[in-house]
Chains A and B, each alone.
Chain A
Amino acid sequence: MLEVNTQNAGGSIVMTPVGDVDLSCSRELQGHIKRALEGKPKSLVVNLEKVPYMDSSGVATLVEAMQIARKQGTRLVLCGLQDKVRSIFEIARLDRVFTIASDVQAAAAS
């Protein structure tokens, strides 16, 4: 089971999954993100600093989130990407598609 910590402040949400995100738990992350987006927050920051590994099922979850966020006017920002996670975004050429910040503070300021 994937642990996901969520903080809501002033209409903005910071979501922090903990652990590897692969096919065994990407649907759980998808559920957390969809529930967060249902409230149409101003922004959703997905803080990946505690995710040491992600496969393409996790990336697909985030692409879907980006598409929903864009449609409804929510700003989606990823932050805290570890090397292995950044690598899959680069291989998939999605590092240019997402807004990626170094950490939560930078994501809030971006």
Chain B
Amino acid sequence: MEPRHVSSQAERASSPASTVPIPEPTGPAPVRVEMLSQPRFLSGARDLVSAVSKRCGFDDAACGQMALAVDEALCNVIRHGYDRRPDGKIWISLWPIEESGKEPTGIKIVIEDEARQVEPEKIKSRDLDDIRPGGLGVHIIQQIMSRSYFEKREKVGMRLVMLKMHNNR
């Protein structure tokens, strides 16, 4: 069983869903892929996330929603992080969350890049009453995932951590 810790995400979480701690898997991800910052590869990333989520016990609707959350995260990296540059590297890592050591009770998904860094607290959802094109990605991620937060990577780039539990706690 992988080591895991209950992080102090409560302070830095951008998803408002719950304050119940989620045990976060650590260590090497059992699934990790690298892709370039090209929109044509989004559908492959969605398929991967949907398939792994299914193996973690989520129903089709939840799998589809998590694929959407990852799509939105990747779009943000491609558009805002890399300014649509096609040669930026993006990593998608997935861990099942196995609290009892048996069947997964959730999934952890991490998106990392080497794009320009921004202060995590400046990454916010916009006011939805202001009807205009764009700016929905962070809101969609927050609505779908049980918890999510951004952080700067150690030297370069950003990291988005997303956690989804079966009971959406």
Contacts and interface: CB of A to CB of B under 8 A. Distances in A.
A24 B143 contact: no
Give the 6 A-B residue pairs with the shortest CB-CB distance, closest first. Answer: A24-B39, A60-B133, A23-B39, A56-B136, A64-B133, A63-B133
Contact of A92 (B64, B79, B128): B128
30 contacts: A23-B39, A23-B42, A24-B39, A24-B40, A24-B42, A24-B43, A53-B46, A55-B42, A55-B71, A55-B72, A55-B75, A56-B75, A56-B137, A59-B136, A60-B133, A60-B134, A60-B136, A61-B133, A64-B133, A67-B131, A83-B64, A87-B64, A87-B65, A87-B68, A88-B68, A91-B139, A92-B128, A92-B136, A94-B131, A97-B131
Interface size bucket, A side?
20 to 34
B70 to A, nearest CB: 10
Interface of B is mostly: helix
A84 B60 CA distance: 10
A97 B71 CA distance: 24
Interface of A is mostly: helix
Contacts of B40: 24
B139 A63 contact: no
B94 interface: no
B155 to A, nearest CB: 27
